[in-house]
């Protein structure tokens, strides 16, 4: 069996598919993956023996800026990505038995798979990306914010935005492939039978008419890499520090420095993850330490709390470690959704990055560092699944054999 996995985005978009690829290979499947051409992704896939098909421009440099590109630049970027996909996907998909795509940016995947007679599946990593009256659509950078009240009206507005961005290009390419036009680009990409690769306790799906969602659990792999020696020495030298990191994102202006200030004000040591933004938040104090790449599965059980941006992977790893969380999300994608889930489950606190101050961070940290929050976080950790990628791989191979 030959499987094509495809996504475009940051590390949080790629890593779940890496986990699925590893489990599929263990079941004897051949796997190739379409991702951005960033060196980090190429090295990651080579390390697990998965062939990379680079599609689109590198992502890392765009994400390192203090702000996202303008709406006009994002629109042009998305249009160029669609053209690149329709150019690259036919050869990449050739000979595959199934195509699985992740993310709304996979505009060409279903059409190319359809033209080649290959089954197509769509996966989301967070319930908020799937249309439902139970939640509003996620923020999509560069597109107008909905003025309508009510989730149903907001989802209709969201569909119009997607059609305005991608509709003409998709219609043109489908006509060239001899395929009929589609009425709703977003729902065409998602299908009416999407998969949800999220933990059912941390990010549950609520039944929605018209969508038959398969929730497999989150797609992750065990990570037994040791922590760097200098990081281990810092951890051993005192009480557990509070971790501050924003992954592939650049935090809102001043938020990182305010977090360090608020943590120190409460007498805690600080561990800063540089991330893709290459954060430089430290002075000469011996109560602070900066780290680059590190194994979060080994690290988070050793910290007092995790301050982060609300990425799906960071939220899940902190929850599995039983670490309280303070989420300061950008108004981007699923970040606000995961912030809301942390708050709803009383695993810590969530703030709005646009209104965050050192004072509000201090209050949020007091909530997260309380014994009651720590106990709730530890209790929830034992209820989270770790077999999502295996479940998905077995379902995928079993359905198609």
DSSP 43-72: HHHHHTT-EEEE-SS-SHHHHTSSSPPPHH
Q: What are phi and psi of 272, to 5 degrees?
A: -105, 125
- Does the pLDDT value for residue 177 go beyond 80? yes
Q: How much is the mean pLDDT over the chain?
A: 92
Same domain, 159 and 293: no
- Does the pLDDT value for residue 146 go beyond 70? yes
Which has the minimum average pLDDT: 54-68, 70-84, 266-280, 384-398? 54-68
Short-list 76, 121, 93, CA closest to 31? 93
Task: Provide the domain limits for residue 214.
Answer: 2-220+386-400
Short-list 61, 63, 106, CA closest to 88? 106
Same domain, 50 and 128: yes
Same domain, 30 and 164: yes
Same domain, 259 and 376: yes
Identify the three-state secondary structure at position 183: coil
CATH number reported for the structural domain that contains residue 31 in this entry: 3.40.50.2000
Same domain, 183 and 90: yes
pTM recorded for the entire structure: 0.94
Tens digit of each residue's pLDDT (9 = 90 or more) over 96-120: 999 999 998 899 999 999 999 999 9
Same domain, 185 and 246: no
Tens digit of each residue's pLDDT (9 = 90 or more) over 291-308: 888 999 999 999 999 999
- Does the pLDDT value for residue 401 go beyond 60? no
Same domain, 233 and 140: no
Same domain, 129 and 262: no
Q: What are phi and psi of 348, to 5 degrees?
A: 155, -130
Tens digit of each residue's pLDDT (9 = 90 or more) over 11-39: 899 999 999 999 999 999 999 999 999 99
Same domain, 350 and 395: no
Q: How many domains does the chain have?
A: 2
Q: Where are the alpha helices (DSSP H) in 224-274?
A: 229-236, 255-265
Cβ–Cβ under 8 Å, residues 162 and 186: yes
Q: What is the pLDDT of residue 259?
A: 86
Same domain, 117 and 184: yes
Same domain, 267 and 369: yes
Check residues 280 and 333 and name the one with the higher pLDDT.
333
Determine the average pLDDT of the residues in 191-200: 98
* For the ranges 63-77, 156-170, 350-364, the one whose mean pLDDT is highest: 156-170
Residue with tokens 């104090």: 285
Short-list 137, 174, 9, CA closest to 77? 9
- Does the pLDDT value for residue 157 go beyond 90? yes
Same domain, 347 and 395: no
């Amino acid at each position: 069996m030959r499987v094509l996995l495809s996504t475009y985005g940051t590390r949080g978009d790629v890593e779940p598919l890496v986990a699925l690829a590893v489990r599929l290979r263990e079941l004897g499947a051949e796997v190739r993956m379409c991702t951005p051409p960033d060196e980090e992704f190429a090295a990651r896939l080579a390390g697990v023996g998965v062939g990379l098909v680079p599609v689109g421009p590198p992502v890392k440099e765009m994400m390192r800026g203090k702000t996202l590109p303008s709406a006009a630049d994002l629109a042009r970027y998305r249009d160029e990505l669609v053209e690149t996909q329709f150019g690259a996907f036919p050869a990449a998909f050739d000979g595959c038995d199934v195509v699985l795509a992740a993310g709304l940016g996979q505009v060409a995947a279903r059409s190319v798979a359809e033209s080649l007679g290959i089954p197509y599946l769509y996966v989301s990593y967070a319930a908020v990306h799937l249309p439902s009256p139970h939640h509003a659509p996620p923020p999509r950078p560069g597109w107008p914010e909905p003025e309508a009240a009510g989730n149903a009206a907001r989802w209709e507005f969201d569909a119009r935005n997607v059609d305005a961005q991608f509709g003409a290009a998709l219609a043109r390419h489908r006509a060239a492939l001899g395929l009929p036009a589609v009425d709703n680009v977003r729902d065409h990409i998602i299908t009416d039978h999407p998969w949800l690769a999220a933990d059912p306790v941390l990010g549950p799906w609520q039944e929605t008419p018209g969508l038959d969602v398969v929730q497999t659990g989150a797609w992750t792999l065990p990570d037994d890499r040791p922590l760097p020696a200098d990081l281990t020495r810092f951890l051993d030298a005192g009480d557990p520090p509070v971790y501050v990191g924003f992954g592939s994102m650049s935090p809102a202006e001043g938020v990182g420095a305010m977090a360090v200030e608020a943590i120190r004000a409460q007498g805690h040591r600080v561990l800063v993850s540089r991330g893709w933004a290459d954060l430089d938040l430290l002075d000469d104090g011996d109560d602070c330490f900066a780290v680059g790449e590190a194994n979060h599965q080994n690290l988070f059980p050793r910290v007092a709390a995790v301050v982060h941006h609300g990425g799906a992977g960071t939220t899940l790893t902190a929850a599995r470690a039983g670490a309280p969380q303070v989420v300061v999300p950008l108004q981007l994608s699923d970040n606000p959704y995961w912030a809301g889930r942390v708050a709803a489950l009383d695993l810590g606190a969530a703030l709005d990055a646009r209104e965050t101050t050192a004072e509000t961070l201090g209050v949020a940290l007091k909530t997260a560092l309380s014994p009651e929050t720590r106990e709730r976080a530890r209790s929830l950790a034992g209820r989270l699944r770790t077999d999502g990628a295996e479940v998905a791989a077995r379902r995928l191979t079993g359905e198609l054999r």
